[in-house]
């Protein structure tokens, strides 16, 4: 499978909740800077404890967010993983593993920084995404206890 | 209206209005005929006074009931009660009690007002302010149709039923139909109940005094009182002149023909002109047209009386025309405009206020007119004097129309500014809490206490600060020392300088930030400028931001500082602090700022543009002009927004604003027209065009904000962030703030409830000719006329053309 063009990448980013409100002309520069990566089943996108400063936007396929064997949440196209570390670099709180052949776009902290200055709406999106992730995690924890 | 089908609402309200009109016609015919037959016209002014007394009492009862229970219940009970009165009157008349015709004459205007209060009340709950402006005339038109029908039915009914009083049976039936339709409306749209208008025990319910504390409500009361007085004086003038021209059957024939013509004209006006007139000219014309036309006609009448005399046929014709114009405009524009103006009153108060204004104000006006006419008759003043009195009243009425409009626009602007959040309470008004924070062992608490301290002046004791200055955390220690030094403690100043110098070299970014904060306004650190430059060059953006916060006006002479501040505008993490620092540096930053802005590509950084806008307010347009004339509309938008934020409305020349507005309008029309021609599969290009029309929308709003003030942005914020009535109020607020030409572009763009196709249709006047998908795509990809100016649109177009 060939790599995505800029237009396809922007279309993919527009399907991501976080970037849905950002105009295509702005996302075009994000798309150009983004790195396209493909993961096969069982391949790890992120390792718990790793210090990194980027997020992944899932374009195709699905991933699970887990701590050890305990799955916190499963995510599919349009989801993002690793936003917190992309904003404030810190050890990853969980691992992320591909559940099927998965295509992601990697967006680095420097690009997000630029976007956040020009598009405060993105900050709202990040907060909303984090809150929903936190809710899902605590619901999961409640079910487990 | 957010979720009710508008068409059904209008149909049901119009049906109610028709039944209402038929009922009133079948009351007024027998009431007048029987009263005049029994008592003659000379006692008519006495019925005016009775109307005032009875009408006021009835309205007070309704207003009281409206505050305690829901609209539909008040309306049902009132209207059913009136139906019972008609039936009882019929029985009394059949038994020979002609006196009851006086009661019916008194009841007629009260029933008229009451019916419109209930119709307006329902419409106010089911339609938003813009739908009211556009559709309520149709409902009022239903009333005219009903009145015409009632008049036409009068003669055959008379033949059928045998005597005049039997027409009251028809009135009773029509009244019951009105009640039935009202209940059907309630069942179909339960939101019309939206109440009880008052909590069961009256809790939280403002008293009538509070309701009328609003300037707008008071002015509406004055306006409607004057409107009623003007109308009744015209009514009197017409009857006076008609009875001078005709008598007996001739008079009856004239009145029948006149009533038919009047209703026909009213229907045509309501159906064809009233809505477009209000849409195009708004409430200003809606409120002023009626009194202004009446003033003009009364002025001509005065000339005729002064010339040919009161007996002239021309004067009679003029009274007929004036009465016709008054009724037609009153139904078509005045009533609708008054109802629309009431939309600004909170919904829970609206019916109570409307009932009092329309129910008490109007009857009192009718009574006052009766008293004036009786007095004038007593002292022997003729028609000329009545015309003069009516003209003076109408001039005041016109002025009150302008005043209502002005107050309405102000009230709308205030409503747009209203925020749901309560005013923030002061955080640091508690000495004990502040002392506890400063004495805490937890460094976070002490930092919070130190943060709050500057706003609380003398509240913190020196002892607490001294204790904090010995805290284990060096950052806390330094900040406490800074506070003590600022209060004049020389020993603390020396300690501050020494500690800051040490912390500036620390490996911990938090401590370097603390060192920067010690550089603040007093600059109590030895070699402070050298330390500042070092911290401005720090590798950590958080430390750089702290150093930028420490820049003071005295640094303006230091080029090394100024150049670093301007450079920091372009780094995302320091841009905010740098913008504030540029403001503090003043003139010295302007040349570097202008150079940075003119530098290729640099003008894309909004913080740089923001700083330039701030400088432009003091140093003129030249600093920011490159951004305002940039080919990229995004840069132009950033410059306009920055100027608005920096209170720089007066900086931009009017012709430049006009160019930007016209370009944005044309661009929006072009983007929307192209979008409608694309296929559903052209997803990325359609989205790109949506973004372009949104960019145009932002440009239009930015220009309008600079032209008309922050009210524009506040109105747009309301349109974007709310639904239903409040969103419609936002659109209305925008409509009254801007000109008609601006509204023709801005409203279709601002209204989120319109689809792109509807927006494209509304903006067709500003855009290019329609064409097919392929031609649009070709134009967007090549952009031969440099109208799209977007590499992204071009890329999407080329992508679409390959598919």
Q: Cα torsion at B43, B48, B50, B54 (round to 10°)? A: 150
Tell me which residue has tokens 């556009």: B134
- Residue B666: predicted pLDDT: 93
Q: Is A39 helix (H, G, I), strand (E, B) or coil?
A: strand
What's this model's pTM, rounded to 2 decimal places?
0.62
Distance CA B283, CA B343 (A): 12
Q: Do A57 and A96 contact (CB within 8 A), yes or no?
A: no
pLDDT above 80: residue A125: no
- A7/B795 touch (CB, cutoff 8 Å), yes or no: yes
**Cβ-based contacts of A117 with chain B (< 8 Å):** 572, 575, 606-607
CA–chain centroid gap for B444, Å, is 46
* pLDDT score for B14: 92
How high does pLDDT run on average in chain B? 80
pLDDT value at residue B255: 65
Residue B758, token pair as written in the block: 């509807």
B790 and A25: CB-CB below 8 Å?
yes
Which residue ranges in chain B fall short of pLDDT 50?
Answer: 1-3, 195-205, 419-429, 455, 457, 459, 602-603
d(CA A123, CA A114) in angstroms, rounded, equals: 12
B111 burial via Cβ count (<10 Å: 0-12, 13-18, 19+): buried
Q: Would you call B795 an interface residue with chain A, using a CB distance cutoff of 8 Å?
A: yes
Tens-digit pLDDT profile for residues B199-249: 333 434 455 566 566 678 888 888 888 998 999 889 888 877 877 777 655
Question: What is each CA distance from B89 to B95, B170, B212, in whole angstroms?
Answer: 10, 13, 36
Among B572, B634, B684, select the one facing A11 at the smallest CB separation.
Answer: B684
Average pLDDT of the residues in A107-134:
74
Establish if A14 touches chain B: CB-CB under 8 angstroms.
yes
Please determine, for residue A44, whether its predicted confidence score (pLDDT) is greater than 90: yes
- In this prediction, residue B424 carries a pLDDT of 40
Residues B130, B268: Cα–Cα separation, whole Å: 22
Strands (E) located in B453-492: none
Residues of A in contact with B792 (CB under 8 A): 24-25, 28
Chain B hits for A32, CB-CB cut-off 8 Å, are none
Residue A135 Cα, gap to closest chain B Cα (Å): 25
Q: B575, B684, B697, B720: best mutation site toward chain A, by most A Cβ within 10 Å?
A: B684
Return the C-alpha torsion angle B728, B730, B735, B738, nearest 10: -170
Q: What is the pLDDT of residue B428?
A: 42
For residue B650, the SS3 value is coil
Tell me the count of A-B CB pairs closer than 8 A: 39
What's the pLDDT score for residue B645? 81
Flag if A11 and B607 touch (Cβ within 8 Å): no
pLDDT of residue B297: 94
* Coil, strand or helix at A66: strand
Question: Would the CA dihedral through B177, B178, B179, B182 be positive or negative?
Answer: positive
Of the candidates B606, B683, B694, the beta carbon closest to that of A118 is on B606
Q: Could you tell me if B79 and B175 are in contact, meaning their C-beta atoms sit under 8 angstroms apart? A: yes
Residue B423: predicted pLDDT:
37
Token pair listed for B575: 């841009």
pLDDT of residue A43: 94
- What residue has token string 């059913």? B80
CB-based contact, B799 to chain A, within 8 Å:
yes
A24 vs B688: CB contact, 8 Å cut-off? yes
Using the Cβ of B697 and the Cβ atoms of chain A, whether some distance falls under 8 Å is answered with no
- B573 in contact with A at a CB cutoff of 8 Å? yes
Q: Per residue in B397-421, pLDDT tens?
A: 999 999 988 888 887 777 776 544 4
Q: What one-character DSSP code corresponds to residue B84?
A: H
Q: Quote the longest CA-to-CA distance of chain B.
A: 112
Q: Which residue has the tokens 């396209």?
A: A36
- Whether this model's ipTM surpasses 0.90 comes out as no
* Contact between B568 and B574 (Cβ < 8 Å): yes
A23 at B interface, C-beta within 8 A: yes
Q: How do residues B89-129 score in pLDDT, each as one tens digit?
A: 999 988 888 888 888 888 887 888 788 888 888 887 787 77
Integer Rg of chain A from CA: 15
Contact A24 B691 (CB under 8 A): yes
What does the pLDDT look like over B245-286, one tens digit per residue?
776 556 656 766 777 788 888 878 877 888 778 777 778 888
Of B208, B206, B316, B327, nearest in space to B259 by CA: B327
B676 touches chain A (CB under 8 A): no
- Asked if residue B687 lies in contact with residue A14, where contact means CB atoms within 8 angstroms, the answer is yes
Inspect the interface and report whether the beta carbons of B607 and A14 lie closer than 8 Å: no
What pLDDT score was predicted for residue B36? 66
What is the least distance, in Å, from the CA of B569 to any CA of chain A?
11
Distance CA B581, CA B785 (A): 42
The alpha helices in chain A, defined as continuous H runs, are 6-14, 24-33, 83-87, 109-118, 120-144
Q: Which of B685, B637, B697, B672 is nearest to A10 (CA)?
A: B685
Query: Which one of B681, B796, B797, B798 would you mutate to disrupt binding with A, by most A Cβ within 10 Å of its Cβ?
Result: B796
């Amino acid at each position: 499978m060939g790599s995505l063009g800029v237009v396809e990448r922007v279309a993919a980013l527009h399907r991501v909740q976080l970037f849905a409100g950002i105009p295509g002309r702005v996302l075009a520069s994000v798309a150009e800077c983004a790195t396209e990566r493909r993961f096969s089943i069982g391949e790890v996108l992120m390792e718990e404890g790793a210090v990194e400063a980027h997020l992944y936007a899932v374009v195709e396929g699905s991933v699970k967010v887990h701590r050890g064997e305990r799955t916190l949440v499963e995510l599919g196209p349009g989801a993002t993983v690793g936003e917190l570390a992309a904003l404030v670099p810190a050890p990853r709180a969980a691992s992320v593993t591909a559940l099927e052949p998965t295509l992601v776009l990697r967006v680095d902290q420097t690009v997000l920084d630029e976007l956040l200055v020009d598009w405060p709406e993105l900050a709202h999106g990040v907060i909303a995404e984090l809150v929903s992730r936190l809710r899902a995690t605590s619901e999961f924890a409640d079910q487990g206890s | 209206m957010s979720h009710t089908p508008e068409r059904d609402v209008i149909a049901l309200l119009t049906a109610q209005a028709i039944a209402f009109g038929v009922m009133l016609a079948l009351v007024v015919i027998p009431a007048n005929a029987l009263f005049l037959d029994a008592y003659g016209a000379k006692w008519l002014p006495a019925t005016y006074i009775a109307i005032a007394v009875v009408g006021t009492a009835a309205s007070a009862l309704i207003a009281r009931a409206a505050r305690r229970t829901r609209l539909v219940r008040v309306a049902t009970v009132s209207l059913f009660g009136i139906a019972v009165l008609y039936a009882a009157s019929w029985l009394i008349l059949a038994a020979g009690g002609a006196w009851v015709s006086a009661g019916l004459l008194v009841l007629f205007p009260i029933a008229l007002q009451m019916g419109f209060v209930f119709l307006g009340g329902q419409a106010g709950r089911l339609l938003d302010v813009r739908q009211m402006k556009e559709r309520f005339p149709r409902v009022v038109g239903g009333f005219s149709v009903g009145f015409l029908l009632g008049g036409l039915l009068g003669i055959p009914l008379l033949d059928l039923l045998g005597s005049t009083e039997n027409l009251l049976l028809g009135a009773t039936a029509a009244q019951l139909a009105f009640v039935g339709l009202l209940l059907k409306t309630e069942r179909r749209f339960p939101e019309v109940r939206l109440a009880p208008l008052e909590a069961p025990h009256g809790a939280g319910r403002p008293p009538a005094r509070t309701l009328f504390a609003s300037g707008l409500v008071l002015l509406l009361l004055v306006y409607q009182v004057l409107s009623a007085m003007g109308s009744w004086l015209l009514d009197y003038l017409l009857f006076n002149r008609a009875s001078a021209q005709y008598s007996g059957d001739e008079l009856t024939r004239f009145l029948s023909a006149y009533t038919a013509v009047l209703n026909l004209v009213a229907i045509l006006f309501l159906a064809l002109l009233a809505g477009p007139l209000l849409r195009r000219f708004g409430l200003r014309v809606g409120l002023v047209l009626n009194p202004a036309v009446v003033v003009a006609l009364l002025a001509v009448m005065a000339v005729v009386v002064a010339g040919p005399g009161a007996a002239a046929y021309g004067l009679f014709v003029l009274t007929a025309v004036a009465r016709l114009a008054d009724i037609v405009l009153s139904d078509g524009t005045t009533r609708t405009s008054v109802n629309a103006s009431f939309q600004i009153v909170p919904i829970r108060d609206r019916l109570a206020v409307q009932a009092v204004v329309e129910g008490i104000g109007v009857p009192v006006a009718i009574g006052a007119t009766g008293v004036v006419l009786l007095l004038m008759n007593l002292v022997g003043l003729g028609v000329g004097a009545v015309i003069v009195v009516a003209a003076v009243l109408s001039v005041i009425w016109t002025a009150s129309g302008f005043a209502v409009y002005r107050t309405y626009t102000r009230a709308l602007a205030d409503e747009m500014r209203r925020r749901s959040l309560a005013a923030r309470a002061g955080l640091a008004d508690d000495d004990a809490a502040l002392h506890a924070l400063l004495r805490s062992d937890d460094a976070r608490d002490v930092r919070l206490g130190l943060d709050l301290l500057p706003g609380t002046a003398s509240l913190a004791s020196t002892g607490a600060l001294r204790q904090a200055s010995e805290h284990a955390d060096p950052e806390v220690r330094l900040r406490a020392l800074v506070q003590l030094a600022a209060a004049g403690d020389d020993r603390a100043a020396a300690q501050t300088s020494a500690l800051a110098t040490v912390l500036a070299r620390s490996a911990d970014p938090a401590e370097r930030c603390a060192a920067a904060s010690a550089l603040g306004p007093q600059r109590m650190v030895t070699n402070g400028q050298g330390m500042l430059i070092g911290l401005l060059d720090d590798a950590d953006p958080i430390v750089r931001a702290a150093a930028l916060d420490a820049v003071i006006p005295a640094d303006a002479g230091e080029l090394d500082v100024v150049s670093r501040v301007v450079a920091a505008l372009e780094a995302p993490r320091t841009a905010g602090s740098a913008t504030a620092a540029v403001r503090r540096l003043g003139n010295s930053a302007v040349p570097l700022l202008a150079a940075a802005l003119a530098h290729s590509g640099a003008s894309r950084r909004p913080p740089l543009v923001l700083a330039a806008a701030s400088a432009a307010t003091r140093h003129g347009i030249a600093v920011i002009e490159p951004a305002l004339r940039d080919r990229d509309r995004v840069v132009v938008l950033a410059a306009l927004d920055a100027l608005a934020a920096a209170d720089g409305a007066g900086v931009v020349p009017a012709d430049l604003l006009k160019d930007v507005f016209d370009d944005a309008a044309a661009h929006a029309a072009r983007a929307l027209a192209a979008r409608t021609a694309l296929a559903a599969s052209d997803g990325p290009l359609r989205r790109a065009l949506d973004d372009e029309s949104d960019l145009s929308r932002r440009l239009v709003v930015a220009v309008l904000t600079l032209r008309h003030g922050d009210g524009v942005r506040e109105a747009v914020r309301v349109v974007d962030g709310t639904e239903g009535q409040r969103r419609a109020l936002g659109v209305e607020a925008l409509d009254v703030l801007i000109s008609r030409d601006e509204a023709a572009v801005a409203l279709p763009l601002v209204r989120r409830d319109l689809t792109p196709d509807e927006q494209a249709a509304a903006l067709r006047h500003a855009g290019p000719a329609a064409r097919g998908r392929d031609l649009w795509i070709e134009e967007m990809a090549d952009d031969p006329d440099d109208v799209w100016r977007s590499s992204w649109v071009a890329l999407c177009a080329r992508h679409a053309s390959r598919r």
